[in-house]
Amino acid sequence: MNEQRRKFLKNSGKGLLSLSALSAIPFAGWSRELLEAEPKLFFKISLAEWSLHRTLFSGKLTNLDFPAKAKNDFGIHAVEYVNQFFKDKARDEAYLKELKTRTSDLGVTNVLIMIDGEGPLAEIDDKKRTQAIENHYKWVEAAKFLGCHSIRVNARTSSKDPKEAKTAAVDGLSRLTEFAEPYGINIIVENHGGFSSNGQWLSSVMKQVNKPTCGTLPDFGNFCIRRGPEGCAEEYDRYKGVAELMPYAKGVSAKTNAFKENGDEVNMDYMRLMKIVKDAGYTGHVGIESESKIDEDKAVMLTKALLIKVGKALS
Protein backbone atom coordinates (compact mmCIF):
# COMPACT_ATOMS: atom_id res chain seq x y z
CA MET A 1 0.00 0.00 0.00
CA ASN A 2 1.51 3.33 -1.03
CA GLU A 3 2.16 6.26 1.30
CA GLN A 4 -0.63 8.39 -0.19
CA ARG A 5 -3.21 5.71 0.57
CA ARG A 6 -1.89 5.30 4.10
CA LYS A 7 -2.35 8.99 4.73
CA PHE A 8 -5.87 8.77 3.33
CA LEU A 9 -6.75 5.86 5.63
CA LYS A 10 -5.30 7.64 8.62
CA ASN A 11 -6.94 10.98 8.04
CA SER A 12 -10.10 10.24 6.06
CA GLY A 13 -13.02 11.27 8.20
CA LYS A 14 -10.70 11.94 11.12
CA GLY A 15 -12.66 13.53 13.91
CA LEU A 16 -15.92 13.16 11.99
CA LEU A 17 -18.76 10.75 12.49
CA SER A 18 -21.24 9.84 9.78
CA LEU A 19 -23.96 12.50 9.65
CA SER A 20 -26.53 9.87 8.72
CA ALA A 21 -25.55 7.82 11.74
CA LEU A 22 -25.54 10.83 14.06
CA SER A 23 -29.05 11.75 12.99
CA ALA A 24 -30.26 8.54 14.60
CA ILE A 25 -29.23 9.58 18.11
CA PRO A 26 -32.46 10.39 19.95
CA PHE A 27 -31.05 11.91 23.12
CA ALA A 28 -31.29 15.65 23.61
CA GLY A 29 -27.83 17.08 24.10
CA TRP A 30 -25.95 14.23 22.44
CA SER A 31 -23.29 15.88 20.34
CA ARG A 32 -20.68 14.85 17.83
CA GLU A 33 -18.00 15.79 20.34
CA LEU A 34 -19.49 13.67 23.10
CA LEU A 35 -19.76 10.57 20.96
CA GLU A 36 -16.24 11.00 19.63
CA ALA A 37 -14.67 11.68 22.98
CA GLU A 38 -16.10 8.56 24.63
CA PRO A 39 -16.07 10.00 28.15
CA LYS A 40 -14.05 8.07 30.70
CA LEU A 41 -15.89 4.82 31.28
CA PHE A 42 -15.03 1.69 33.25
CA PHE A 43 -14.79 -0.22 29.96
CA LYS A 44 -13.57 0.31 26.39
CA ILE A 45 -15.81 0.24 23.33
CA SER A 46 -15.10 -1.96 20.33
CA LEU A 47 -17.10 -2.82 17.22
CA ALA A 48 -18.00 -6.39 16.29
CA GLU A 49 -17.94 -6.89 12.54
CA TRP A 50 -21.24 -8.78 12.63
CA SER A 51 -22.98 -5.43 13.25
CA LEU A 52 -22.37 -4.71 9.56
CA HIS A 53 -23.04 -8.21 8.22
CA ARG A 54 -25.68 -7.14 5.68
CA THR A 55 -23.35 -4.49 4.28
CA LEU A 56 -20.48 -6.98 4.13
CA PHE A 57 -22.48 -9.79 2.55
CA SER A 58 -23.77 -7.35 -0.09
CA GLY A 59 -20.21 -6.48 -1.11
CA LYS A 60 -20.59 -2.80 -0.23
CA LEU A 61 -17.91 -3.20 2.44
CA THR A 62 -14.91 -5.52 2.67
CA ASN A 63 -13.13 -6.93 5.68
CA LEU A 64 -10.05 -4.89 4.75
CA ASP A 65 -12.08 -1.68 4.86
CA PHE A 66 -13.94 -2.54 8.07
CA PRO A 67 -11.38 -1.00 10.48
CA ALA A 68 -11.41 2.33 8.61
CA LYS A 69 -15.20 2.41 8.71
CA ALA A 70 -15.18 1.69 12.45
CA LYS A 71 -12.90 4.64 13.10
CA ASN A 72 -14.08 7.14 10.51
CA ASP A 73 -17.84 6.60 10.62
CA PHE A 74 -18.34 5.66 14.26
CA GLY A 75 -15.33 7.00 16.16
CA ILE A 76 -14.52 3.47 17.38
CA HIS A 77 -10.85 2.52 17.60
CA ALA A 78 -11.02 -1.21 18.35
CA VAL A 79 -12.47 -3.99 16.16
CA GLU A 80 -13.64 -7.58 16.49
CA TYR A 81 -13.49 -9.58 13.26
CA VAL A 82 -15.74 -12.40 12.06
CA ASN A 83 -13.88 -15.08 10.14
CA GLN A 84 -16.79 -15.52 7.71
CA PHE A 85 -15.68 -12.32 5.99
CA PHE A 86 -12.13 -13.52 5.26
CA LYS A 87 -12.62 -17.26 5.56
CA ASP A 88 -9.96 -18.20 2.98
CA LYS A 89 -7.35 -15.72 4.27
CA ALA A 90 -6.28 -17.29 7.58
CA ARG A 91 -2.95 -18.33 6.07
CA ASP A 92 -2.70 -15.63 3.40
CA GLU A 93 0.37 -13.77 4.65
CA ALA A 94 0.04 -10.89 2.18
CA TYR A 95 -3.61 -10.32 3.10
CA LEU A 96 -2.98 -10.42 6.85
CA LYS A 97 0.00 -8.11 6.47
CA GLU A 98 -2.15 -5.62 4.56
CA LEU A 99 -4.88 -5.76 7.22
CA LYS A 100 -2.35 -5.31 10.01
CA THR A 101 -0.72 -2.38 8.21
CA ARG A 102 -4.06 -0.67 7.74
CA THR A 103 -5.05 -0.99 11.38
CA SER A 104 -1.63 0.19 12.47
CA ASP A 105 -1.84 3.26 10.22
CA LEU A 106 -5.35 3.99 11.49
CA GLY A 107 -4.45 3.54 15.14
CA VAL A 108 -7.13 0.83 15.43
CA THR A 109 -6.71 -2.08 17.86
CA ASN A 110 -7.39 -5.63 16.69
CA VAL A 111 -9.21 -7.22 19.62
CA LEU A 112 -10.32 -10.70 18.57
CA ILE A 113 -11.58 -12.93 15.76
CA MET A 114 -14.95 -14.68 16.03
CA ILE A 115 -14.65 -18.16 14.54
CA ASP A 116 -17.57 -19.97 12.91
CA GLY A 117 -17.80 -22.92 10.54
CA GLU A 118 -14.68 -24.77 11.69
CA GLY A 119 -16.43 -27.62 13.47
CA PRO A 120 -18.04 -28.25 16.88
CA LEU A 121 -15.52 -28.25 19.73
CA ALA A 122 -17.91 -30.18 21.97
CA GLU A 123 -18.64 -32.91 19.41
CA ILE A 124 -18.87 -36.31 21.10
CA ASP A 125 -17.28 -38.11 18.14
CA ASP A 126 -13.55 -38.07 18.93
CA LYS A 127 -12.38 -37.81 15.32
CA LYS A 128 -14.76 -34.97 14.47
CA ARG A 129 -13.82 -33.10 17.65
CA THR A 130 -10.11 -33.50 16.94
CA GLN A 131 -10.63 -32.23 13.39
CA ALA A 132 -12.53 -29.21 14.74
CA ILE A 133 -9.71 -28.46 17.18
CA GLU A 134 -7.12 -28.62 14.41
CA ASN A 135 -9.28 -26.47 12.11
CA HIS A 136 -8.95 -23.65 14.63
CA TYR A 137 -5.14 -23.72 14.68
CA LYS A 138 -4.81 -21.43 11.67
CA TRP A 139 -7.04 -18.82 13.32
CA VAL A 140 -4.93 -18.86 16.48
CA GLU A 141 -1.92 -18.13 14.28
CA ALA A 142 -3.77 -15.40 12.36
CA ALA A 143 -4.94 -13.78 15.62
CA LYS A 144 -1.37 -13.76 16.90
CA PHE A 145 -0.12 -12.12 13.70
CA LEU A 146 -2.81 -9.41 13.84
CA GLY A 147 -2.15 -8.63 17.49
CA CYS A 148 -5.51 -9.88 18.81
CA HIS A 149 -5.79 -11.22 22.35
CA SER A 150 -8.37 -13.96 21.65
CA ILE A 151 -10.36 -16.05 19.24
CA ARG A 152 -14.03 -16.63 20.02
CA VAL A 153 -15.13 -20.23 19.52
CA ASN A 154 -18.36 -22.23 19.82
CA ALA A 155 -18.98 -25.17 22.16
CA ARG A 156 -21.47 -26.87 19.89
CA THR A 157 -22.34 -30.56 20.05
CA SER A 158 -24.59 -33.22 18.56
CA SER A 159 -25.27 -34.69 22.00
CA LYS A 160 -28.60 -34.30 23.77
CA ASP A 161 -27.01 -35.19 27.13
CA PRO A 162 -25.56 -32.18 29.01
CA LYS A 163 -23.06 -34.33 30.93
CA GLU A 164 -21.79 -36.04 27.78
CA ALA A 165 -21.58 -32.68 26.00
CA LYS A 166 -19.71 -31.17 28.94
CA THR A 167 -17.09 -33.92 28.88
CA ALA A 168 -16.53 -33.32 25.17
CA ALA A 169 -16.45 -29.53 25.59
CA VAL A 170 -13.87 -29.73 28.38
CA ASP A 171 -11.65 -31.93 26.21
CA GLY A 172 -12.02 -29.82 23.05
CA LEU A 173 -11.46 -26.49 24.78
CA SER A 174 -8.58 -27.78 26.91
CA ARG A 175 -6.70 -29.13 23.90
CA LEU A 176 -7.23 -26.01 21.79
CA THR A 177 -6.21 -23.81 24.73
CA GLU A 178 -3.00 -25.81 25.14
CA PHE A 179 -2.18 -25.22 21.48
CA ALA A 180 -2.91 -21.48 21.77
CA GLU A 181 -1.01 -20.86 25.01
CA PRO A 182 2.47 -20.43 23.40
CA TYR A 183 0.95 -17.87 21.03
CA GLY A 184 -0.47 -15.81 23.89
CA ILE A 185 -3.98 -16.20 22.47
CA ASN A 186 -7.03 -16.77 24.68
CA ILE A 187 -9.72 -19.25 23.69
CA ILE A 188 -13.05 -17.70 24.64
CA VAL A 189 -16.48 -19.29 24.36
CA GLU A 190 -19.66 -17.39 23.59
CA ASN A 191 -23.12 -18.37 24.75
CA HIS A 192 -24.26 -19.21 21.24
CA GLY A 193 -27.19 -21.61 21.37
CA GLY A 194 -27.78 -25.08 22.75
CA PHE A 195 -26.09 -26.00 26.03
CA SER A 196 -23.70 -23.04 25.71
CA SER A 197 -26.65 -20.65 26.25
CA ASN A 198 -27.17 -22.19 29.68
CA GLY A 199 -24.97 -20.05 31.89
CA GLN A 200 -24.68 -22.71 34.56
CA TRP A 201 -23.55 -25.34 32.04
CA LEU A 202 -20.96 -23.11 30.35
CA SER A 203 -19.58 -21.77 33.63
CA SER A 204 -19.19 -25.36 34.87
CA VAL A 205 -17.25 -26.16 31.69
CA MET A 206 -14.94 -23.20 32.38
CA LYS A 207 -14.45 -24.31 35.97
CA GLN A 208 -13.43 -27.79 34.87
CA VAL A 209 -11.13 -26.61 32.06
CA ASN A 210 -9.49 -24.41 34.69
CA LYS A 211 -6.96 -22.69 32.42
CA PRO A 212 -6.18 -18.96 32.68
CA THR A 213 -6.25 -18.51 28.89
CA CYS A 214 -9.65 -20.17 28.42
CA GLY A 215 -12.62 -17.96 29.17
CA THR A 216 -15.98 -16.66 28.03
CA LEU A 217 -17.48 -13.98 25.82
CA PRO A 218 -20.86 -13.24 27.46
CA ASP A 219 -23.36 -12.05 24.85
CA PHE A 220 -26.31 -10.11 26.27
CA GLY A 221 -28.70 -11.52 23.70
CA ASN A 222 -27.74 -15.14 23.00
CA PHE A 223 -29.56 -17.05 25.71
CA CYS A 224 -31.91 -19.10 23.56
CA ILE A 225 -31.25 -22.73 24.45
CA ARG A 226 -33.80 -24.25 22.08
CA ARG A 227 -35.57 -22.79 19.08
CA GLY A 228 -39.04 -23.72 17.89
CA PRO A 229 -41.04 -22.98 14.74
CA GLU A 230 -42.10 -19.58 16.11
CA GLY A 231 -38.82 -18.47 17.64
CA CYS A 232 -37.14 -19.26 20.92
CA ALA A 233 -38.87 -22.13 22.71
CA GLU A 234 -36.57 -22.21 25.75
CA GLU A 235 -34.66 -19.18 26.99
CA TYR A 236 -32.20 -18.87 29.86
CA ASP A 237 -32.43 -15.85 32.13
CA ARG A 238 -30.01 -13.38 30.56
CA TYR A 239 -29.15 -11.57 33.79
CA LYS A 240 -28.41 -14.80 35.64
CA GLY A 241 -26.44 -16.06 32.64
CA VAL A 242 -24.28 -12.96 32.30
CA ALA A 243 -23.56 -13.03 36.04
CA GLU A 244 -22.49 -16.70 35.79
CA LEU A 245 -20.22 -16.09 32.80
CA MET A 246 -18.57 -12.83 33.87
CA PRO A 247 -16.03 -14.41 36.27
CA TYR A 248 -14.43 -16.01 33.20
CA ALA A 249 -15.00 -13.15 30.75
CA LYS A 250 -12.21 -11.90 28.50
CA GLY A 251 -14.68 -9.96 26.35
CA VAL A 252 -18.31 -8.84 26.43
CA SER A 253 -20.75 -8.65 23.52
CA ALA A 254 -23.26 -5.79 23.75
CA LYS A 255 -26.06 -7.23 21.65
CA THR A 256 -28.93 -4.99 20.54
CA ASN A 257 -31.99 -6.01 18.54
CA ALA A 258 -34.43 -3.11 18.76
CA PHE A 259 -34.58 0.36 20.28
CA LYS A 260 -37.16 2.38 22.16
CA GLU A 261 -37.78 6.02 21.26
CA ASN A 262 -35.46 7.12 24.07
CA GLY A 263 -32.66 4.90 22.72
CA ASP A 264 -32.91 2.10 25.29
CA GLU A 265 -32.93 -1.53 24.14
CA VAL A 266 -36.45 -2.93 23.88
CA ASN A 267 -35.81 -6.35 25.41
CA MET A 268 -32.83 -5.78 27.70
CA ASP A 269 -32.16 -3.68 30.76
CA TYR A 270 -28.75 -2.34 29.82
CA MET A 271 -28.25 -0.60 33.15
CA ARG A 272 -28.74 -3.91 34.95
CA LEU A 273 -26.55 -5.85 32.50
CA MET A 274 -23.69 -3.36 32.57
CA LYS A 275 -23.83 -3.19 36.36
CA ILE A 276 -23.28 -6.97 36.39
CA VAL A 277 -20.30 -6.41 34.10
CA LYS A 278 -18.90 -3.68 36.35
CA ASP A 279 -19.49 -5.59 39.57
CA ALA A 280 -17.43 -8.45 38.12
CA GLY A 281 -14.46 -6.06 37.94
CA TYR A 282 -14.34 -6.16 34.16
CA THR A 283 -12.55 -3.24 32.47
CA GLY A 284 -11.86 -4.59 28.97
CA HIS A 285 -13.60 -4.10 25.64
CA VAL A 286 -17.37 -4.24 25.30
CA GLY A 287 -18.10 -5.00 21.67
CA ILE A 288 -21.08 -3.45 19.91
CA GLU A 289 -22.93 -6.25 18.11
CA SER A 290 -26.25 -5.05 16.75
CA GLU A 291 -28.67 -7.32 14.94
CA SER A 292 -31.32 -4.64 14.55
CA LYS A 293 -33.39 -4.58 11.37
CA ILE A 294 -32.89 -0.82 11.01
CA ASP A 295 -30.05 0.76 9.05
CA GLU A 296 -26.85 -0.87 10.31
CA ASP A 297 -24.91 2.38 10.71
CA LYS A 298 -27.70 3.87 12.79
CA ALA A 299 -27.93 0.75 14.93
CA VAL A 300 -24.21 0.92 15.68
CA MET A 301 -24.47 4.56 16.74
CA LEU A 302 -27.57 3.91 18.84
CA THR A 303 -25.79 1.09 20.62
CA LYS A 304 -22.72 3.24 21.17
CA ALA A 305 -24.85 6.06 22.56
CA LEU A 306 -26.62 3.61 24.87
CA LEU A 307 -23.31 2.21 26.15
CA ILE A 308 -22.02 5.71 26.81
CA LYS A 309 -25.21 6.74 28.61
CA VAL A 310 -25.16 3.67 30.84
CA GLY A 311 -21.40 3.75 31.26
CA LYS A 312 -21.45 7.34 32.41
CA ALA A 313 -24.15 6.54 34.94
CA LEU A 314 -22.14 3.62 36.35
CA SER A 315 -18.66 5.16 36.20
Kindly indicate the confidence band of residue 66, based on its pLDDT and cuts at 50, 70 and 90.
very high
Domain count, the chain: 1
Rg, the chain, Cα only: 19
Per DSSP, which regions of 89-155 are E strands? 109-114, 150-153
Instruction: Single out the residue of 25, 52, 86 nearest to residue 291, CA to CA.
Output: 52
Domain hosting 309: range is 23-314
Average pLDDT across the chain, whole number? 91
Within 8 A by CB and 6+ apart from 145, the residues are 96, 100
- H or E element, residue 171: helix 162-180
Q: Of all residues in the chain, what percent carry a pLDDT higher than 90?
A: 86
**pLDDT band at residue 5, thresholds of 50, 70 and 90?**
low
Backbone angles phi, psi at 113, to 5 degrees: -120, 130
Residue 14 counted as domain residue? no
Residue 227 resides in a domain? yes
Q: How far apart are CA 205 and CA 67, in angstroms?
A: 33
Reported pTM: 0.91
Report if residue 4 sits inside a domain.
no
Does 17 reside within a domain? no
pLDDT at 181 over 60: yes
98 domain-assigned: yes
Residue 7 belongs to a domain: no
- CATH number of the domain where residue 296 is located: 3.20.20.150
Half-sphere exposure of 136 (CA within 13 A, CB side): 31
